[in-house]
Amino acid sequence: MKTPISSIGEFGLIKRIAEKVNLYNKNTIKGIGDDTAVIDISDNKYLLFTTDLLIEGIHFNLVYTPLKHLGYKAVAVNLSDIAAMNGQPTHILVSIALSSKFTIELIDELYEGIKIACNKYNVDLVGGDTSSSITGMMISISAIGFVDKNKITYRNTAKVNDFICVTGDLGAAFFGLKFLEREYILYEEFLKENKEKEFQPDFKGYEYLLKRQLKPEPRLDIIRFFYDNDIQPTSMIDISDGLSSELHHICFQSGVGCRIYQHKIPIAEEVYKASEEFNIAPETAALNGGEDYELLFTISEKDLHKVLYSKDISVIGQICPNTEGLHMITQQGNKIELLAQGWIHFK
């Protein structure tokens, strides 16, 4: 049998792997299926364990990704998964594979970015692995962190009537990538026609979008806010694939549905401007764009008043019974079904 991976997609493939996995250790509390694995290591804390792989040409293009930013982002996306469990990251391992086109100076730049992220988030780089590659660069970072047992927050524990919240704003990283891709195409055309002058990419007015794409921040400040204000989210996930896809994960795993309101989705001013240039609706970028690395979480009514006045948190809807499905109420009052675009990676 020769079945293409595209027939089941990324999530179908992970499900297939998960179904064949046996767990042998009693202290494995959570295996495949959440933002990190969860391991019981002490009386009061769980260890969180996660990894992410970035491949040149798939996840990044070195023509428009400075290596320092790439190093920073590679760390940030791992820390974001630890944050999504309501945890604190502590250690990372960094493995790289490099083709002969890379110089020592370039690798210094990559590690400069990794170092800045470690310093900012108080995380220790404690090892890794180095290999050559036939073409391009691969970076694999694994992170561990810790969470108090009574504070751990999974994806599968959202309850009917809980309020749905997101941090920061959504859709900006998607348009940041759109601008970088557009300027890259212009740059290639420029190279063909005019080798004399220097190419000047034009990002004026869109610096925020670029920052969101190139240098995302894990929302560990929000985890601190929860801790300080005694807020216990009922479920949580980080937004790497777009709001819609992450809502599907929470709802599917929790056996519930949801209703969100279009006008409550937090969207930055620059996203509205960019959406006109690219003729893509801002909500489409927020729902399906991905790479914002904000947190999507639910809270019970008793905690609602504690987040209402936070400028970093927007309440966008409510969890419903499973039978109601997943939908968004538009500004005109129409009800539209939420589709999970992130589920078709291999297509």
CA distance 62 to 70: 9
Question: In the range 209-248, which residues lie near ligand ADP by CB under 6 A?
Answer: 240
CA distance 310 to 304: 11
Question: In the range 67-126, which residues lie near ligand ADP by CB under 6 A?
Answer: 81
Stretch 183-222: interaction string toward Mg ion, x if CB under 5 A: ----------------------------------------
CA distance 198 to 204: 17
Cα 135 to the chain's mean position, in Å? 26
Closest to Mg ion by CB, 56 vs 294, is: 294
CA distance 115 to 137: 19
Question: In the range 32-51, which residues lie near Mg ion by CB under 5 A?
Answer: 35
Annotate 272-308 with DSSP letters as a single string: HHHHHHHT--HHHHHHHT-----EEEEE-HHHHHHHT
Compute and round to an integer the Cα radius of gyration of the chain.
Answer: 21
Q: Helix axis angle, 172-193 relative to 207-214, nearest 10°?
A: 100
Residue 52 C-beta: closest distance to ligand ADP, Å: 6
Binds Mg ion (CB under 5 A): choice among 81, 169, 217, 246: 81
Residue 56 interacts with, from ligand ADP, Mg ion, none (CB under 5-8 Å by kind): none
The values of phi and psi at residue 167, to 5°, are -95, 160
CA distance 52 to 73: 11
Residue 240 C-beta: closest distance to Mg ion, Å: 5
CA distance 296 to 250: 9
Closest to ligand ADP by CB, 14 vs 281, is: 14
Our finding on whether 52 is near Mg ion (CB under 5 A) is: no
Segment interacting with ligand ADP (CB under 6 A) among 31-39, 134-142, 215-223, 317-325 = 31-39
The amino acid present at 179, given as its one-letter code, is: F
Residue 255 C-beta: closest distance to Mg ion, Å: 20
Closest to ligand ADP by CB, 52 vs 169, is: 52
Binds Mg ion (CB under 5 A): choice among 34, 56, 162, 238: 238
- Among the listed residues 261, 277, 271, the one whose alpha carbon sits nearest the alpha carbon of residue 315: 261
Residue 269 C-beta: closest distance to ligand ADP, Å: 28
CA distance 245 to 88: 25
Our finding on whether 32 is near ligand ADP (CB under 6 A) is: yes
Binds ligand ADP (CB under 6 A): choice among 8, 9, 12, 33: 33
Question: In the range 10-29, which residues lie near ligand ADP by CB under 6 A?
Answer: 14, 17
Q: DSSP letter at 234?
A: S
Residue 337 pairs in a beta bridge with 327
Segment interacting with Mg ion (CB under 5 A) among 11-19, 153-161, 232-240, 275-283 = 232-240
Our finding on whether 162 is near ligand ADP (CB under 6 A) is: no
CA distance 141 to 134: 20
Residue 193 C-beta: closest distance to Mg ion, Å: 43
- Among the listed residues 314, 268, 241, 209, the one whose alpha carbon sits nearest the alpha carbon of residue 77: 241
Our finding on whether 254 is near ligand ADP (CB under 6 A) is: no
List of residues contacting Mg ion (CB under 5 A): 35, 81, 238
Q: Which residues bind ligand ADP (CB under 6 A)?
A: 14, 17, 32-35, 52, 81, 240
